[in-house]
Structure 1
């Protein structure tokens, strides 16, 4: 991996910069030697089909659907606060 004609400090800096870049598994796995060629082809195909903007929209739609649902608690009404806290809250609002 040595780069001809470059001092060792520059070589280390190049490697450090490349290692610091965040990458998705679809990007770094094919570059590693840990994956067979068929899996590399599948990963590259998946990566080619990914659309980050469409993924963002799908996530936002799902979150809107989840957040639109009413909140339900399995606890009985009033069990989350003591009677004293409820009375104090009523006095403040009145």
Structure 2
């Protein structure tokens, strides 16, 4: 089950990275995360690289053969999944608004 959650987190993280990148590039949104905002302001491609590294770390956990049994990791993963689902919903709203 954790591998599925990590896979969803990879997909949602990459969607967030690309949607945020293009939304900021087109001046349609503002980055709410101060750390990621400062990365984007320093270099937009650094921002994408850091998001990509997060996804690669999750991919490592997907292919890692030993099952993850830590309750803390499971709860944090569920919380991250819920957060990314909300962020994806926000991105979808401004994307549909922009395209309309």
Larger relative contact order, structure 1 or 2 (CA cutoff 8 Å, min sep 6): 2
Q: TM-score, normalised by structure 1?
A: 0.27
Q: TM-score, normalised by structure 2?
A: 0.26
More helix by share: 2
Bigger Rg, which one: 1
